Amino acid sequence: MARSHRHAAAALIAVAAIALAGCSGGNSANSSNGSSSAGGTLVVDTAFSLETGDPGRNYVPTGNMVLHAVYDTLLTFQGSDSSTPKPDLATMKQNSDATEFTFTLQDGRTFSDGTPVTADDVVFSLDRVAGIADSKANFLMAGITVAKVDDKTVKLTTKTPSLQLPAIVTNPSLAILNSKEVAKHGGKTDTSDAAKSWLDANSAGSGPYKLQTLDLTQQVVLVKNDKYDGEDKAGYDKIVVRNISQSSTQLTNLKGGDSNVAVDLSGDQVKNLGSGFTVDSAPSAETLFLLVNQDKNVGGVTANPKFAEAVRYALDYDKLLELAGSGSEQATGVIPPMFPGANKAGVTQDLDKAKAALAASGYTGQEIKLQFPNDNPVGGVEFTPVAERVQEQLKAVGITVTLAPAPFATEVQPYVKGQEAFSLWYWGPDYADSSSFLPFGPGEKVGLRAGWTAEADPTIAGLVGTAKNATSVDARNTAFSDYAKAMQESGPFVPLIVPGINLASSDKVAGLEYNVTWTLDLRTLHAK
């Protein structure tokens, strides 16, 4: 059975309080069929991006997948719904300025050793992430102050409006840890923290599973947490997550019964699975885009805004999308289609407009080098065929492109440093919220990689500020919409494809659901 769906992936709060009864409720199918007991072993194959079992130091996809099953967060997303955070360990209220967020812990929640979850654990866990300066997740706590109100209440405060904060606290990196246990094994809230090695071999969470073993190159084994008292009851006694880097091997294992779930299959692979399997295909929230550098010292002729316009209208987006497979969509702008504020439609090819813009840009036939990583497919989409098709389509309007592929490890530094005149890259959200795409704006992180300063486009820079500082959902959505439209008309980025993600399982497994942060939700999986 195959199903394809659109995910509403933006964490905007429609009311000023998240005060729903109960926790995340992600494993609703278990309760609906009357079976809440776990049983058996589930084997999941995925290509590892895994660095640690320490939530505070994790910021990679496989780590998110595993740690989401072991640790609870203050708020969470239920299953594939990434539109509005739901209570997990706590309910939430916010002030009208969106600068104060008060979290009240739900009654009766305990860690896997049976000790109660308290406000002290929340303060310690979040302050620990903020204090580990070399953690990739450290930026999630930037500008956020944490204070205990009482044993069950914690207040998070920001100096400027932060409607994205509820989405931020759903990230597994901001999981709540058993502070006494972690402190006993070297846990601190500053740079002297030394709990990583212990957390790589033990778990201190309150989720439905516990960490049994972790091998960063081979497999992770999770076992049922018998003391779990939330709503996401464990569907299995044990989950084994294996590092299988080749999608062809994942497919063979799944079809042969050596595994139950495959995470990294391509659209073509799932299309031919046949009966006996369940497939969940959806846009991945990653975007493939072209960068057109606006710094004359780097790009030369590409720095003329008309050159980016010529590229934008020269491309046949339907032809590019053919390379992407099931679940993929045309990128309608820098904000992917499933996020509030995204453009409803993408650019349509207009060769006359492209040629006119090219003539106005001052381009006279110079060779333009297109740089891209050639060993890092996204959602099964290989960059080389996309680059070749871009090259062919730009040639039709008179732009001479030579391809310059290189390994990701070689290519990433010049990209980050803003040293590429014309390149093909990708971007995904740091958390399930439209604000994850503001870095494309002038003067922002990705904008500066394109040599695009705030002074180069004050109007769009102002739209970024408006979106950041909105205090109501309606105003914020309008600001994101204005930003997305303006970026599509004049920005130095040409969004191409939102690749699909294709999860597949045996039809004996229920609850297969994609999530933009933790990819595969291990909490929802259970035997039929």
| CB of 331 closer than 8 Å to CB of 496 | yes
Lowest mean pLDDT among 27-36, 64-73, 187-196, 335-344: 27-36
pLDDT digits (tens, 9 = 90+) for 454-489: 999 999 999 999 999 999 999 999 999 999 999 999
Output the pLDDT for position 379.
80
Report whether pLDDT(8) > 50.
no
CATH of the domain at 186: 3.40.190.10
> What value does the mean pLDDT take over residues 189-211?
97
Q: How many helices (H) and strands (E) does the chain have?
A: 17, 25
> What value does the mean pLDDT take over residues 59-88?
91
Phi-psi region of 271 (alpha: psi -120 to 50; beta: other; left: phi over 0): alpha
> In this predicted model, which residue has the larger pLDDT, 78 or 237?
237
Q: Are 243 and 94 in a shared domain? A: yes
Report whether pLDDT(170) > 60.
yes
Output the pLDDT for position 409.
86
Q: Are 515 and 487 in a shared domain? A: no
Residues in the chain: 528
> In this predicted model, which residue has the larger pLDDT, 298 or 379?
298
> What value does the mean pLDDT take over residues 204-220?
97
Q: Are 276 and 316 in a shared domain? A: no
Q: Are 122 and 170 in a shared domain? A: yes
Burial label for 389, CB within 10 Å (0-12, 13-18, 19+), is middle
Scanning the structure block, which residue is given the tokens 């580990």? Answer: 132
> What value does the mean pLDDT take over residues 234-241?
97
Q: Are 254 and 307 in a shared domain? A: no
Output the pLDDT for position 326.
79
> What value does the mean pLDDT take over residues 355-361?
97
Nearest to 106 by CA among 172, 152, 174, 171: 152
Report whether pLDDT(319) > 70.
yes
Q: How confident is the model at residue 306 (pLDDT cuts 50, 70, 90)?
A: very high
pLDDT digits (tens, 9 = 90+) for 513-524: 899 899 999 999
Domain count for the chain, please give it: 2
Q: Which residues contact 272 (CB under 8 A, 6 or more apart)?
A: none
Residue range of the domain that includes 483: 287-498
Report whether pLDDT(22) > 60.
no
Q: How confident is the model at residue 29 (pLDDT cuts 50, 70, 90)?
A: very low
Share of the chain above pLDDT 90, in %: 80
Report whether pLDDT(294) > 70.
yes
- In what side-by-side order are the strands of the sheet with 287-292? 329-330, 493-498, 287-292, 422-427, 367-373, 400-406
Report whether pLDDT(16) > 60.
no
Share of the chain above pLDDT 70, in %: 92
CATH of the domain at 313: 3.10.105.10
Output the pLDDT for position 522.
97
Output the pLDDT for position 38.
59
Q: Are 20 and 52 in a shared domain? A: yes
Distance CA 222, CA 241 (A): 8
Q: Are 176 and 38 in a shared domain? A: yes
Q: How confident is the model at residue 375 (pLDDT cuts 50, 70, 90)?
A: confident
| CB of 507 closer than 8 Å to CB of 8 | no
Output the pLDDT for position 15.
40
> What value does the mean pLDDT take over residues 261-289?
91
Report whether pLDDT(20) > 70.
no
Q: Are 481 and 412 in a shared domain? A: yes
Nearest to 446 by CA among 335, 327, 326: 335
Q: Are 206 and 304 in a shared domain? A: no
pLDDT digits (tens, 9 = 90+) for 242-266: 999 888 999 999 999 999 999 989 8
Q: Are 165 and 269 in a shared domain? A: yes
Residue 118 dihedral angles phi and psi, to the nearest 5°: -125, 170
Two tokens at 181?
């246990």
| CB of 289 closer than 8 Å to CB of 495 | yes
Q: Are 223 and 303 in a shared domain? A: no
Report whether pLDDT(337) > 70.
yes
Q: How confident is the model at residue 356 (pLDDT cuts 50, 70, 90)?
A: very high
Q: How confident is the model at residue 111 (pLDDT cuts 50, 70, 90)?
A: very high
In order, the DSSP letters of 258-276 are S-SEES---HHHHHT--TT
Q: Are 179 and 37 in a shared domain? A: yes
